[in-house]
Amino acid sequence: MHTQEEFEGWVASMERGDCGYIYLRLYADAPDWVRDTAINRFGKGTVFLPPLDVKPRAA
């Protein structure tokens, strides 16, 4: 099972829009489970924006 912290690490940006939509931008190299988790968490009102570059590496 993946943790909340792991999920948030793959999210480049997230905004709540009109009519309850969630606009979510993931990093380009995000694994499939991240997209599945977002849909399960936010429901059908999840709008995926084009991905950002790959996730920056920790220093």
pLDDT tens digits along 16-33: 988 889 999 999 999 999
pTM of the model: 0.80
Per-residue pLDDT band at 3 (split at 50, 70, 90): confident
Per-residue pLDDT band at 52 (split at 50, 70, 90): confident
Assess whether pLDDT exceeds 70 at residue 1.
no
In what side-by-side order are the strands of the sheet with 11-16?
A: 11-16, 22-26, 46-48
What separation, in Å, do the N-terminal and C-terminal C-alpha atoms of the chain show? Answer: 26
Question: What is residue 59's predicted lDDT score, i.e. its pLDDT?
Answer: 58
> Could you tell me which residues come within 8 angstroms of residue 35 by beta carbon, excluding any fewer than 6 positions away?
26, 48
